[in-house]
Amino acid sequence: MRVIILAAMLALAATAALAVDPGERLADPSLEARARTLSGELRCLVCQNQSIDDSNADLAHDLRVLIRERLTAGDSDPQVLQFMVRRYGDFILLRPPVQADTYVLWFGPFAVLALGALGAALYLRRSGRAPQQALAPLSADEQRRLKQLLAEDQG
């Protein structure tokens, strides 16, 4: 069983390593490390759930090449990210910034959870306060009628 798990882990690791083509890599190891870090922070616009570092899509390849071109031209990491955001919008970032137009994205789930908890608390509070109606004892006439009905049912 351990062998199967190990093989699966190696297979998954190999697919991520194959996303960056050897032809894309830079000769300078420090620039290559920066490029890999930056491409790990950017979303693949085709896959949308992977970084461009992990994606095999053609657009991801083009974006990785573009990052390396910007780095070799002398751009800093923040400049490369700003360039990509100007070109593709905040959607390209795997971790979008907290700003006015992304408040719903960041705080919406918490607001919905808080509203749900408030609604549940109000519901439970109201249902706990519902007046309990005490049953009045049967009158003599009602007891006589009940006995008559039970006798008819058994007979």
Query: How far is Cα 94 from Cα 44, in angstroms, rounded to an integer?
Result: 9
Give the CATH fold of the 2-100 domain. Answer: Helicase, Ruva Protein; domain 3 (1.10.8)
Grouped pLDDT means (10 residues each) for the chain, 155 residues? 63 52 68 89 86 89 91 90 91 85 85 95 81 78 92 82
Domain residue limits, the chain? 2-100
Q: What percent of the chain has pLDDT over 90?
A: 33
Q: Which residues contact 86 (CB under 8 A, 6 or more apart)?
A: none
